[in-house]
Amino acid sequence: MRILVVGAGATGGYFGGRLAEAGRDVTFLVRRTRAQTLRQHGLQIISPCGNVVLRPTLVEAGDLAGHYDVILLTVKAFSLAAAMEDIAPAVGPETAIVPLLNGMRHLARLRERFGAEAVMGGVCKIAATLDAQGRIVHFTPPHQLFYGELDDSRSARLARIDAALRNAGFDACAVPSITTALWEKWILLSSLGGITCLMRGTIGQVAAAPGGEAFARALIEEVASVAEAGGYRRRDEVIAETTALLTQQGSPMTSSLYRDLIAGNAVEADQIIGDLKARADLPVPLISAVWTHLSVYQQNRG
């Protein structure tokens, strides 16, 4: 099975690298500067689950040849439009696109561009980043990849993809309802991003501040209410786990949204917070405050 991984950052580089390490037929679609780094130093993964240096197969936009069986799309949400144009030559009638983007807006855009049948759902859970040398630094052992058909069916292609992605050095699983997994990741990301960005601190720092835990709990409930109104069938145990995680005293946890904001980088505010607010048909004062805060940041950034 030919697998194209779009992007070799923390997410694509990690999961694609593990697949390549396991002997899968993997090609990375990367920008020229990233290609130069990878050709010079290799794809380097530093992880509690094992370090590795690989010399992966690389291709740049415009040089794609032939169709791929699976495309793992791992770019930032604000790079989706360019990525769709880049991958178009690789998409054939049997290609399955598995996006690992934040939020859910990307699903409609991909289906509109490539057809509903081409697009599956994907969710990853990993704490990783690129360091100054371009190495993928994986912080903690969880490294999970979930995928499924958007109608939650058990198709033959899902079984083939599941077989290709399993047993490759990370936890991979075709889940019964990928839409549920997508909603629950969005609840986690938007709550985590909202707490850390609006309060400008780690989860532990917010929890220790006067009113911090109450704020976090209220935001999580507000986010969950929007998800339920959008069709999510609430699982109380998941919301309880999310709440416990995001109100933990002493936790050093932050969000990628917060880390990008502090670094002065572009942020996925529209996809993680803005889209959630737009879906809300009920009062969402805390989500609105987070959205206003991030909107001011984006205006100032230019």
Mean pLDDT on 77-90: 96
Would you say residue 302 has pLDDT above 90?
no
pLDDT for 280 equals 87
Helices (H), 115-209: 156-165, 178-199, 203-208
What letter does residue 89 receive in the DSSP assignment? G
pTM: predicted TM-score of the whole model, two decimal places: 0.93
Please write the tens of the pLDDT for every residue from 131-155: 999 999 999 889 999 999 999 999 9
Tokens of 250: 């002493």
Predicted local distance difference test score (pLDDT) of residue 95? 98
For residues 115 and 128, give the distance between their C-alpha atoms in angstroms, rounded to a whole number.
Answer: 32
Quick one: pLDDT at residue 138? Answer: 97
Please report which confidence band the pLDDT of residue 84 belongs to, taking 50, 70 and 90 as the band edges: very high
Beta strand pairing status for 96-99 and 2-6? unpaired
Structural domains of the chain, with CATH: 2-176 (3.40.50.720), 181-301 (1.10.1040.10)
Tens digits of residue pLDDT in 239-263: 999 999 999 999 999 998 999 999 9
Query: Which of the two residues, 207 and 127, has the higher pLDDT score?
Result: 207
Query: Strand, helix or coil at 1?
Result: coil
Find the catalytic residue in 76, 125, 185, 277.
185
pLDDT, residue 281, reads: 87
Q: DSSP E strands: which ranges in 149-279? A: 171-174
CA distance 245 to 234: 17
- What tens digit of pLDDT does each residue of 212-222 get? 999 999 999 99
SS3 106: helix
Q: How many residues does the chain have?
A: 302
Specify whether 76 is catalytic.
no
Which has the closest alpha carbon to 159: 81, 69, 91?
69
